[in-house]
Amino acid sequence: MRKRTLQRGLTGFWWLTVAFLYLPLAVVVLFSFNASNSAASFSGLSLRWYRRLMGNEEILSAFANSMVLAITSSVIALAIGCLIGYGMYRHRHRKLGWLIVLIYLPIVLPDIVFGISEMAFFVQIHDWTGLLQPGLGTMIIAHVTFQIPFVALIVYSRFVGLDPTLFEAAKDLYATPVRRVVHFMLPTIKPALISAFFLSFTLSIDDFVISFFTSGPESATLPIYIWGAIKKGVSPEINAIAALMIGAVAVAATISLAFSRRRLT
Amino acid sequence: MKINKIALALSLGGLALAGQAQAEEGKLYLFNWTEYMDPAIIEAFEEEYDVEVVQNYFNSLPEMFAKLNAGGVSQYDIIVPSNYYIPRLIETGLVQKLDKTKLDNLDNVMEQFQDPSYDPGGQYSAPYQWGTTGIIYNAETFPDAPKSWSLLFDPEVNPQHPFALMGDGQVTMGGACAFLGHGYDCTGMDAWKEAARLLIETKNRDTFSGFSDGTPALQQLARGVTHAGLSYNGDFLYFKEENPDSFANLAFMIPDEGAEKWVDAMMIPAEAPNPDLAHQFIDFILDAEIGAQLSNYNYYASPNAAAVPHLDEVLTQPPVQPSDADMERLRFTPSLEGQQLQTFQQLWAEVQAR
Amino acid sequence: MSYTGVTPTARSRAMVREARHLLFTVAPGASWIIVFLVLPSAYLMGVAFMSNGPYGLPEMPLSLESFKRLAGFGFLGWSPGNLYTLIRSLWQTLISTGLVVLVAYPIAYYITTCRERWRPIMLLLVVVPSWTNQVIRTFGWMNLLAPGTPLSGLAESLGLIAPNMGLYPSNFAVTLGLVYNFLPFMVLPLYAAFEKLDTAQVEAAQDLYASPVRAFWHAVFPQTLPGLLAGIVLVAIPAFGMYVIPELLGGGKGMMLGNLVATQFSGGANWPLGAAGAILMLIATFVGLFAMRRIGKRLGGGEEVVI
């Protein structure tokens, strides 16, 4: 009897928490359709803020920057992180403590310290050499830095999950290392690669603080644009862009759900 | 593994290119206040000189200064700081001298802006617009608002409505100084300390809603988040025009204890990628008709004498052109340097943290 | 040189090959992180030991001035401003982590009691909001808590806030934002801990102790402790250095260490002071990680902590 009350209470609490988690997002989406420029009251449906978005060159270029940044950095991080992940696996019997520390560093470092360190450092290097001008280039460098560890860990754990005898078999099957890589390793870790790529991509799209400090005049991404717009105080349009980004995440979540279900069965 | 190596080399190559892609020929990088430029002027300039103008915006001078220090000095062609930041930009070597031979329209500038105190001889700067910083308030909430800083600093005048102060410390501190009777442009240690104490008290009032700079402060007022705040006369009129309903109840006021007048000027960062184009742009803005078009667009007073005949009528009356009585009470924000600046910044940091 | 000594054996040749392999796979990534993160952090630490130039940029000579400033000693004498900021950061971290635990614990337990095929979906439901951008999520709360909104109206009629004031900007809004932001980080490790719960032990405890509270305390709680600790680290460390949420929801009243550090760079104030603040944050991070490792080892489940 008591157990059932507890369970019921928990169910109620669960739905409350879900409401708590989705309320702010729902409000953003709702107000993106608000006919008036009010934060407090909803006065009818309208697409006026979406219409304003269209043809706003700044937003379009911010979107393009976000995409270029996310794709380029994810590809580079995938290549580098993959190598490290494999190296960590192959040499897991050695003492690689320093490497583990190094790989965890980008994960544990507070964003603000991460961003500011790179900003200050890039400025100094630019002063001395003229390289590393703040812009997409420096942002890509920064993003790759925080993506590498995630790729490495995902790839590493995929290798650990494999049957070690597979590697022996592959050695017998394919004569050259190149063929082993192409015909055995890449296909076997393909799911890990895909998931690592998408995780890197999401991390990049999501990042604000590090991008903010390493960006240049022409490399504002969507989060940076939204931050600027919030700071400036023009609100309804932000709702519209934010709603679009929330929609994109919802689509990604659905896809991910579909995949995870397939994996379960 | 070779494939990965090649991919790596290729992407690194791409990365290097991405780093170099900036600062191309034929692009002008303009770093300006938000809502401060007529898009039509940009288009006209782009057409006339066959270039592309890339605009970036700041909301406050500290933000602009920080961006310049963080690499911006070699990334922007034009910046538009206010008078009291100009001496420190010159002193830190962040800006370069103007080549006056390239600025034919410089003679259009009004006499009082030819040799300004913030930049003797006008060697580094050419004036863009000038205006005032006043209190914007909701006239419905405060039908009998006094023409005074007490609307912000006296809890008895405004006991229960949220208000904001400006994020730029010097303006907010100046306001507190004026309210205390030390004048808007106070600089003495004792006056500052008293003002800082007042600000800490004010911050801890329940109705203090936060620090916000010019444009955001106006948006908060329009949306009813705050009922009094600090902003600029031109921005006020500009947004009122754009959104008459939300601004119907808002009013602009210059406190009798004194307030800020300012001049924003165009300057060229020391390592600007395209200084020639920057000079052309400054000259373009100094043109009589373009200067008038700019003021007509953003509702700020023009420092351009030749532009006067082309100005809209609204620009010749308050609040754009303050009354003579108000004009006498307006002061420039003092330009701080050295020990004085350090003192000020410590006091302001204290206000922010408490 | 001729081979006068021992010819290299197959074993040592293999070792050389292995070492080269290690170098080849690990070097690109390791050097990337060293060049683009370790060196910059080291540089930043160096900045903390320089003097503050007249306009906020680091200058020679070396000095400990910025650490003194951080502790509140300016040339105006000691003032408590930075201490307030520090205490506020600690307090916000503490209270939001506590609240996150209070919410996440029952939620994680509840998910494990549900049918197995629902669990991944429920976890996904918890995690999805954190995939949207932090700035957007915080902006959602700005919309919800502003003056005049139903929530603010409710708080006003209950007498929780002054009339005409919204729930935002305020320290309360910052706490709420932090709890919202970090909830998933706590649910996931706790869920993992609950899923591995040894039910035999729980049943034995239920027989042994009459009260369910004691049974919980002796049988369930210790088993979930590693997950709880992992969650606490995942929440408390980033909360302590948080920048976006206090900046947007605090309205200048809720300044935290992250904001203090950031304004030294983004408001053109004082690079060395900002760098000193960053060092403080780093110390807090590593102390937190170290403490968790120690406790985790003592509990015998320390390896779980990965993400």
Q: Which of A13, A84, A116 sits opposite C26 (nearest CB)?
A: A84
- The residue ranges of chain A whose pLDDT is under 50 are 262-265
* Span of A35-39, A62-66, B215-219, B319-323 with lowest mean pLDDT: A35-39
Minimal CA separation from B162 to chain C, in Å? 6
Can you list the positions of beta strands (E) in chain C?
50-52, 58-62, 73-74, 77-78
Q: Test B342 with C169 for CB contact under 8 angstroms.
A: no
Question: Is C153 in the B-facing interface, judged by CB distances under 8 Å?
Answer: no
User: Are residue B215 and residue B347 in the same domain, yes or no?
Assistant: yes
- In order of B161, C173, C184, C249, the CA distances from C142 in angstroms are 19, 9, 20, 7
The pLDDT value given to residue A1: 56
- Strand pairing report for B259-266 and B330-331: parallel
> Is there a domain that residue A244 lies in?
yes
Say whether C74 and B346 touch across the interface (CB within 8 A).
yes
The reported pLDDT for the residue numbered A232 is: 79
Rounded to a whole number, what is the largest CA-CA distance in chain C?
95
C47 near C58, Cβ under 8 Å?
Answer: yes
Structural domain includes residue A19: no
Residue A222 lies in a domain: yes
A-C CB pairs within 8 A amount to 237
CATH of the domain at B242: 3.40.190.10
In a domain, B199, yes or no: yes
pLDDT value of residue A265: 34
Distance from CA of B294 to the nearest CA of A (A): 21
Sort out which chain B residues have CB atoms less than 8 A from A136's CB and list them.
18-19, 21
ipTM, two decimals? 0.88
Does residue B71 surpass a pLDDT of 70? yes
Are A146 and A106 a contacting pair, CB within 8 Å? yes
Q: Which domain holds residue B345?
A: 132-261+327-353
> In this complex, which of A40, A83, A119 lies closest to B224 when CB atoms are compared?
A40
B203 vs C57, C253, C263: nearest CB: C253
B46 has binding-site annotation: no
Tell me how close the Cα of A243 comes to any Cα of chain C, in angstroms: 9
pLDDT tops 50 at residue C307: no
Q: Is the pLDDT confidence value at B29 over 90?
A: yes
Quick one: pLDDT at residue A41? 67
Looking at the complex, does the CB of residue C121 fall below 8 Å from at least one CB of chain B?
A: no
Inter-chain CB pairs, B–C, below 8 Å: 98
Beta pairing, strands B163-165 & B78-79: unpaired
Q: Give chain C's domains with CATH numbers.
A: 81-305 (1.10.3720.10)
Closest to C269 (Cβ–Cβ): which among B88, B338, B349?
Answer: B349
**B30 lies in the same domain as B143:** no
Are both B136 and B126 inside the same structural domain?
Answer: no
State mean pLDDT over C97-111. 95
pTM of the complete model: 0.88
Q: How many domains does chain A have?
A: 1
In a shared domain, residues B170 and B244 = yes
Q: How far is C259 from chain A (nearest CA, A)?
A: 9
Domain assignment present for A9:
no
Q: Let me know if residue A61 belongs to a domain.
A: yes
Q: Which residues from chain C sit within 8 angstroms of residue B63, using beta carbons? A: 266-268
Domain membership flag for residue A3? no
More confident residue, C302 or B219: B219
The verdict on B60 and B185 lying in the same domain is no
Mutate to test the interface with A, among C49, C135, C304 (most CBs of A within 10 A): C135
State CA B34 to chain mean position distance: 9
Kindly state whether residue A40 falls inside one of the protein's structural domains: no
Write out the two tokens for C236: 């408390």
Q: Can you tell me the distance from the alpha carbon of A57 to that of C189, in angstroms, rounded to the nearest whole number?
A: 43
Residue B1: how many other CB atoms lie within 10 Å = 15
Neighbours of chain B (3+ CB pairs under 8 A): A, C
Q: Do A148 and C33 touch (CB under 8 A)?
A: yes
CATH of the domain at A92: 1.10.3720.10
Split at pLDDT 50, 70, 90, the class of C303 is very low
Contact B1 A177 (CB under 8 A): yes
Chain A (165-204) residues lying within 8 Å, Cβ to Cβ, of chain B? 177-178, 181-182
Count of the separate structural domains present in chain B: 2
The answer to whether B84 is a known ligand-binding residue is: yes
Q: What is the domain extent for residue A96? A: 57-264
**Helix (H) or strand (E) segment spanning residue B235:** helix B233-242
Residue B215 lies in a domain: yes
Domain assignment present for residue B5? The answer is no
B76 vs A contacts (CB less than 8 Å)? 217
Residues B342 and B212 in one domain: yes
Q: Tell me: do B29 and B96 sit in the same domain.
A: yes
Contact indicator for B177, A194 with CB cutoff of 8 Å: no
Distance from CA of C169 to the nearest CA of B (A): 6
Three-state DSSP state, B267: strand
Q: Is C18 on the interface with A (CB under 8 A)?
A: yes
For A56, phi then psi, to 5°, come to -85, 105
Q: What is the model's pLDDT at position A235?
A: 63
Please indicate whether, in this complex, the C-beta atoms of B209 and C251 are within 8 angstroms of each other.
yes
pLDDT in tens, C144-180: 888 878 888 888 888 888 777 788 888 899 999 999 9
Closest chain B residue to C147 measured between Cα atoms? B225
Which of C96, C139, C213, C266 to mutate against chain A (most A CBs within 10 Å)? Answer: C139
Task: Assess contact for A41 and C143: CB atoms under 8 A.
Answer: no
Mean pLDDT of B186-199: 94
C291 lies within 8 A of chain B by CB: no
Q: Let me know whether B184 and B239 are in one domain.
A: yes
Residue B7, pLDDT > 70, answer no
- Do B279 and B162 share a structural domain? no
Task: State how far the Cα of A142 lies from the Cα of A118, in Å rounded to an integer.
Answer: 7
Maximum CA extent, chain A: 74
Q: Are residues B248 and B154 in the same domain?
A: yes
Q: Does B334 lie in the same domain as B211? A: yes
Reported as a pLDDT band with limits 50, 70 and 90, residue C300 is low
Same domain, B140 and B35: no
Q: Is A238 a domain residue?
A: yes
Contact residues on chain A for B224, CB-CB shorter than 8 A: 38-40
Query: Does A82 lie at the interface with B, CB-CB under 8 angstroms?
Result: yes
Query: B345 CA to chain A: closest CA distance, Å?
Result: 21
Which range, of A172-181, B321-330, C45-54, averages the lowest pLDDT?
Answer: A172-181
> Do the Cβ atoms of B70 and C265 come within 8 Å?
yes
